[in-house]
């Protein structure tokens, strides 16, 4: 497998005001991760777990506080903007709410044309934009329509076409179906699968719905409190979940987003799930667990699992 992305000790911290002054919190906490060409890499976790921050940080929409990001073995953290801009067309992001992502004063055809290379003439851009819209299921006759004239599912299709306009090899999909009806969700998910095969794309697919991730991803990471608790082949993680948090997600099939996001202090000790874990031990409060192999291509970071006591550490 060809490694497309490598994240090393990646952290993103923010400062918030509290009653005692400025408090440093961790959205991503010293995370290591690899994504290979052709992956549909799923990331699941509830609101506030760090999923969206991870997706934005990988493609440098958000700058990391520390750590390194490598794209095709080239270090992009700290890269000068005039050099990074040459790489930026290789990756795109599709957001949860396509209406907020689209300019309401711009026709959908013009929105898609914006991303097409400057070396193409206006007529070529218009032709290519029309092809991309048709590719995602938007009729050519709607080229000059505006976002408010489309349904939610149609707007997400337009957002996908716009993401494809730069001919990317990697797309971050941040909850792209969560605002849609179930019937529309299925159609959009099938579109993602079709486009992945047709255009040889690699995805980072973020969702709070484990069943959606099970459908679309070949590898999955379970995220909580800015850290990854378990990862591996999707089928293995879901059929044989080892971390208590993953077991809760699988047992529930899905979970509701919390209205109030939890705050995770920077530099905290122990497991990020320790306060809610029914199997916690004293060591879970004091030491951060390392990844241990459960089976081939399946790893978990958990002290509570006795079967891992003699295992060797794994690398995501």
The H or E element spanning position 162 is helix 152-164
Buried b (16+ CB within 10 A) or exposed e, 111-132: bbbebbeeeeeeeebbebbbeb
- Mean of pLDDT over the chain: 88
Question: What residues does 94 pair with on adjacent strands?
Answer: 173
pLDDT band at 251 (very low <50, low <70, confident <90, very high): confident
The C-alpha atoms of residue 173 and residue 213 are separated, in whole angstroms, by: 11
Tell me, what's the pLDDT at 15? 86
The C-alpha atoms of residue 201 and residue 135 are separated, in whole angstroms, by: 15
User: What distances in angstroms separate CA 312 from CA 6, 179, 180, 226, one per listed residue?
Assistant: 21, 41, 43, 23
Average pLDDT of span 6-32: 89
Give the residue ranges of DSSP H helices in 26-121.
51-58, 81-88, 98-101, 108-113
Report domain extents, the chain.
3-90+168-308
Q: What is the DSSP string of 194-249?
A: HHHHHHT-EEEEEES-HHHHHHH-SEEEEEETTEEEEEEEHHHHHHS--SHHHHHH
Average pLDDT of span 103-115: 94
pLDDT band at 48 (very low <50, low <70, confident <90, very high): confident
Average pLDDT of span 293-311: 73
Tell me, what's the pLDDT at 162? 96
Q: Which of 135-144, 171-180, 299-308 is predicted with the least confidence, judged by mean pLDDT?
A: 299-308
Residue pLDDT, tens place only, 287-301: 888 888 888 999 899
Tell me, what's the pLDDT at 311? 39
Average pLDDT of span 245-267: 62
pLDDT band at 142 (very low <50, low <70, confident <90, very high): very high
pLDDT band at 216 (very low <50, low <70, confident <90, very high): very high
Q: Name, in order, each residue with C-beta under 8 angstroms of 286's C-beta and a sequence gap of 6 or more.
A: 269, 270
User: Domain spanning 3-90+168-308 has what CATH number?
Assistant: 3.40.50.300
Tell me, what's the pLDDT at 16? 82
Q: Which of 94-98, 116-120, 305-309 is predicted with the least confidence, judged by mean pLDDT?
A: 305-309
Question: What separation, in Å, do the N-terminal and C-terminal C-alpha atoms of the chain show?
Answer: 14
Q: Which of 169-178, 213-222, 294-303 is predicted with the least confidence, judged by mean pLDDT?
A: 294-303
165 alpha carbon, distance to own chain's centre: 20
pLDDT of 262 above 60: no
The length of the chain in residues reads 316
User: What distances in angstroms separate CA 134 from CA 16, 99, 140, 197, one per listed residue?
Assistant: 45, 19, 6, 17
Residue 183, judged by CB atoms within 10 A of its CB (0-12, 13-18, 19+), counts as exposed
């Amino acid at each position: 497998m060809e490694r497309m992305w490598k994240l090393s000790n990646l952290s993103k911290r923010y400062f918030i005001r509290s009653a005692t002054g400025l408090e440093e919190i961790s959205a991503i906490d010293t995370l290591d991760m690899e994504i290979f060409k052709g992956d549909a890499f799923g990331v699941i976790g509830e609101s506030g777990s760090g999923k969206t921050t991870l997706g934005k940080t990988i493609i440098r929409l958000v700058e990391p506080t520390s750590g390194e990001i490598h794209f095709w073995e080239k270090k992009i953290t700290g890269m000068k903007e005039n050099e990074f801009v040459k790489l930026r067309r290789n990756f795109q992001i599709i957001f949860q709410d396509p209406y907020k992502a689209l300019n309401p004063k711009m026709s959908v055809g013009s929105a898609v044309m914006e991303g097409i290379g400057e070396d193409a003439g206006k007529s070529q851009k218009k032709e290519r934009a029309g092809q991309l819209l048709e590719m995602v299921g938007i009729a050519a006759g709607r080229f000059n329509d505006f976002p408010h004239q489309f349904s939610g599912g149609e707007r997400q299709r337009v957002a996908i076409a716009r993401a494809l306009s730069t001919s990317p090899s990697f797309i971050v999909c941040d909850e792209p179906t969560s605002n849609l009806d179930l019937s529309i969700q299925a159609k959009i998910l099938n579109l993602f699968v079709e486009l992945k095969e047709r255009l040889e794309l690699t995805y980072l697919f973020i969702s709070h719905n484990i069943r959606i991730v099970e459908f679309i991803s070949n590898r999955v990471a379970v995220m909580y409190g800015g850290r990854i608790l378990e990862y591996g082949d999707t089928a293995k993680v879901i059929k044989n979940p080892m971390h208590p948090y993953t077991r809760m997600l699988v047992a529930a099939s899905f979970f509701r987003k919390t209205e109030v996001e939890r705050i995770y202090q920077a530099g905290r000790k122990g497991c990020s799930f320790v306060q809610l874990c029914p199997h916690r031990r004293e060591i879970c409060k004091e030491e951060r667990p390392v990844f241990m192999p459960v089976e081939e291509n399946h790893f978990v970071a958990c002290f509570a699992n006795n079967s891992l006591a003699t295992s060797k550490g794994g690398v995501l």
